[in-house]
């Protein structure tokens, strides 16, 4: 069973979580070009490596960040937005 640790609710089966995509800065829609906006809306980085992602614990409605190596599917740490990352042991 694959496990993921929610920073609020603890370690749970990954089936309790929903992937929310990579954390990406949104360009100012009023100030950016159409090309920049289209790139933000339609394109995603497929480069393998360590990425910061949004994850959602569906049982509690908790959104949080996870730092995950998408090449190995190994989660390095998780944390609540705006807070310091917590140690990750799984």
Partner 1 sequence: MVPRSSPLATTFIRLRPEWVTVAGMPVPGRLPEDTAVRAAALGICDVSALPRTGFKGPGAANWLAAQGLSIPGVANSWCFTEGGALVARLGRSEFLVEDGPTGGIAMRTKASLLPGEPGVYPVLRQDCALALVGERVGELFVQTCNVDFGSQDPAARGATLTQMVGVGVTVLQTELAGVPCWRIWCDGTMAPYLWETLVGIAGELGGGPVGLATAFPAWVA
Find the binding residues for partner 1 in span 14-33 (CB under 8 A): 15-16
Please state, in angstroms and rounded to a whole number, the distance separating the CA atoms of residues 57 and 63. Answer: 6
Residue 78 φ then ψ, to 5°: -135, 155
Smaller CB distance to partner 1: residue 6 or 75?
6
Would you call 16 helix, strand, or coil by DSSP?
helix
Question: Any residues with CB less than 8 A from the CB of 88 and at least 6 apart, and which?
Answer: 5, 75, 76, 77, 78
Q: Which is nearer to partner 1, 45 or 58 (CB)?
A: 58
Q: Would you count residue 83 as binding partner 1 (CB under 8 A)?
A: no
Compute the least distance from the CB of residue 59 to partner 1, in Å: 4
Q: By CB under 8 A, is residue 67 in contact with partner 1?
A: no
Binding site for partner 1 (CB under 8 A): 1, 8-9, 12-13, 15-16, 57-62
């Amino acid at each position: 069973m694959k496990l993921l640790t929610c920073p609020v609710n603890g370690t749970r089966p990954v089936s309790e979580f929903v992937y929310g995509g990579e954390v990406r800065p949104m360009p100012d829609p009023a100030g950016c070009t159409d090309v920049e906006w289209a790139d933000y809306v339609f394109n995603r980085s497929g480069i393998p490596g360590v990425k910061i992602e949004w994850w959602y614990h569906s049982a509690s409605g908790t959104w949080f960040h996870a730092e995950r190596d998408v090449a190995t599917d190994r989660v390095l740490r998780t944390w609540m937005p705006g807070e310091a990352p917590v140690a990750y042991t799984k």
